[in-house]
Amino acid sequence: MTLAPKAAKAPEPLPSGRAPAQAGSRPGKIGVMLVNLGTPDGTDFKPMWRYLREFLSDPRVIELNKAIWYPILYGLVLTTRPKKSGANYARIWNRERNESPLRTYTRAQSEKLAAALTDLPDVIVDWAMRYGSPSTASVAEKLVAQGCDRILSFPLYPQYSATTTATANDQLFRALMKMRAAPAVRSVPPYYAEPVYIEALAHSIERHLATLDFEPEVVITSYHGIPKPYSDKGDPYRAHCLETTRLLREKLGWSDQKLITTFQSRFGAQEWLQPYTDKTVKKLAKDGVKSIAILNPGFSVDCIETLDEIGREAAETFHHAGGEKFAHIPCLNDSAEGMAVIEAMVRRELSGWV
Annotated binding site: 224, 305
Q: Are strands 325-329 and 291-295 parallel, antiparallel or unpaired?
A: parallel
Q: State which amino acid sits at residue 292.
A: I
Q: State which amino acid sits at residue 160.
A: Y
Annotated binding site for Fe(2+): 224, 305
User: Taking a C-beta distance cutoff of 8 angstroms, is the pair 61, 167 a contact?
Assistant: yes
Rounded to whole angstroms, the Cα distance separating 147 from 144 reads 5
User: Taking a C-beta distance cutoff of 8 angstroms, is the pair 103, 61 a contact?
Assistant: no
Rounded to whole angstroms, the Cα distance separating 84 from 43 reads 10
Q: Are strands 291-295 and 218-224 parallel, antiparallel or unpaired?
A: parallel
Q: Is residue 287 packed enough to be buried (19+ CB in 10 Å), middle (13-18) or exposed (0-12)?
A: exposed
**φ, ψ for residue 183 (rounded to 5)?**
-75, 160
CA proximity to 60, closest of 202, 196, 183, 155:
155
Rounded to whole angstroms, the Cα distance separating 105 from 332 reads 10
